[in-house]
Structure formats: structure tokens, C-alpha cells
Structure 1
Amino acid sequence: MPGKLSTHVLDLTTGRPAAGMRIELWNHDGKPHLLKAVVTNLDGRTDEPLLVGPTMAAGTYELLFFVKDYFVTHHKDSPFLDRVPVRFALADAKAGYHVPLLVTPWAYQTYRGS
């Protein structure tokens, strides 16, 4: 089974998936460059893995979550957080990496899931 990178976002103010959040995936090996921009679906997930198979490579990456835009659109609040960067290293291109974001307008948490 090929390795893959995935994510999902949970809005902890409602206890529901964060549908409609923009996420960018950046490669940070050398000069940073944008690999992909996606928007979360109704389950707070992306419709397909961010990296999989031949696009999956060891290296340093960053997920950039546009949380302010999401909260202004969905809750009409002016949140403390703007964009949440999560920079991480993929050591094994054949492994599965899942990087969830649990977020409110004021705080966030992430971890390596399975």
C-alpha cells in the first residue's frame, strides 16, 4: 500500500467538522513552494489525499489552514487566529501520515494521527 498524507479539521466551537476551510500544502525543502490548495468537504476532510503514491516523498512540509476566513464566514466572529501553519517532516514515503486540526477562534491543537 503506498504512503499518503491526509488531514481533517474539527470546529470545536460546534463539535462538528469544519466544512469549507481552505488549506494549502507547501513543500519546505529548499525554497518553499505551493503543492496544492484544497477546501474541506462536509466531513471537514479533503476529497482525496494531499499526497499519495508517486507524489509522496520524504521531506519537510507545511499545511496552512485559513481559520480566520472560515470563522468569519461560518460564525461571523472576528477570531484571534488568522492562518494556522503546521510544519512537519515526513520521514517515510511509504507510511501513512494524518495531520488533524482541532480549532476554535482562539486556540488549536494538532497531532500525528493514523
Structure 2
Amino acid sequence: MTGLTTHILDTASGKPASGVKIQLYKLCPQNVPENEKNGTINNPLSTAEKTHLAGEKTQSVVKKLLVETKSNQDGRTEKPLLDEKAMENGQYELHFFTAAYFLNEGAKLDTPPFLDEITISFSIADNTAHYHVPLLVSPWSYSTYRGS
């Protein structure tokens, strides 16, 4: 199966995390005009991040929102975040809005919460493969891995 999927497990309760808002972004490198290379432009990424993504400091990165959804009762999405037609090689970010979930579950969180929005940056190098990005999360920690 080709595509991108995710699921969220609440490690504090030992159950799937349902109702978590999820956003998927693609990071799209764009050339920076010669006259703006040394100036500040509307760029959400640091120089180090631009260098990592583009291999040089002369590119800007624009985040393109591809999907916004919520996790279901199994902690998964109803359909793949990307199906085989939408799979493209490149840099991506998954944003999980976990503080709202934990507050809804009755957790006592600091103000502001220690983990409000979790961002996982990853790459798709083979657009014919299946990529699964699980999130194991509590109010105080999280982990992820490339699943199957």
C-alpha cells in the first residue's frame, strides 16, 4: 500500500487518542531573489533549516497546508493523509494539537502547556512506498518512529 498514514496513542491512559487535530504541510523550497539574500523576508524557517532543506542559503521555504483532519476513535485518520496519487518526494511536517486533547480528557496542564502543538518533520524519499508516522504522547513527553 502506497501512502502516508498516522495514528496517535495516549501513553498516559494506554488508549488511542481520539479527536486530536492534525495538520499535514509540505515544505516547498523557493528561490530567493538576489537582492533579498542578505535581508529578512517573510520566511518561517531559520538559516540552518533553509540550508538543511535546500543545500544552500539562497532558498526560502513555504509551508503548504495539504490536509487538516482529526483522529478517530482508534487514534487514526479516516483515510490516508496522502494516497498514492498525492504522494510526492519531499519534506513534510505533521502538526498534532495535543494540549487541547489532554485538556478535553481532564488532564491538569501548565499554562502555557508544556506540549501544546507537536511538530514532526520528516521526508518522503520513495513516493511508491508506505510511510506510517505514529505519535506516542503524554502531557509531558512524546516519541515517534517510521512504522509499517
| TM-score of Structure 1 vs Structure 2, range by shorter chain | over 0.9
Q: Structure 1 residue 84 and structure 2 residue 118: aligned?
A: yes
Q: Where has structure 1 moved over 6 Å in runs of 4 or more? A: none
- State the Cα distance separating 1:33 from its structure 2 match: 1.2
Long gaps (5+) in structure 2: 30-61
- Between Structure 1 and Structure 2, whose CA radius of gyration is higher? 2
Aligned sequence identity (%)? 48
Task: Count residues in correspondence.
Answer: 113
Deviations 1:40-74 (A, max 9, x none): 00000000000012111111000000011111111
The one of 96, 106, 110 equivalent to 2:140 is 106
The one of 71, 82, 87 equivalent to 1:56 is 87
Letter matched to residue 95 of structure 1: A
Which residue number in structure 2 is paired with residue 37 of structure 1?
A: 68
Long gaps (5+) in structure 1: none
Letter matched to residue 142 of structure 2: Y
Secondary structure at 2:28's aligned position in 1?
coil
Q: Structure 1 residue 20 and structure 2 residue 4: aligned?
A: no
**Aligned partners of 2:136, 2:106: CA distance in 1, in Å?**
16
Secondary structure at 2:76's aligned position in 1?
coil
- State the Cα distance separating 1:77 from its structure 2 match: 2.1
Secondary structure at 1:70's aligned position in 2?
helix
Task: Give the structure, 1 or 2, with the largest relative contact order (CA under 8 Å, sep 6 or more).
Answer: 2
Deviations 1:47-106 (A, max 9, x none): 000001211111100000001111111124224211000000000010000000000000
CA RMSD of aligned residues (A): 1.0
**Aligned partners of 2:89, 2:146: CA distance in 1, in Å?**
15
Q: Does 78-87 or 13-22 show the bigger shift?
A: 78-87
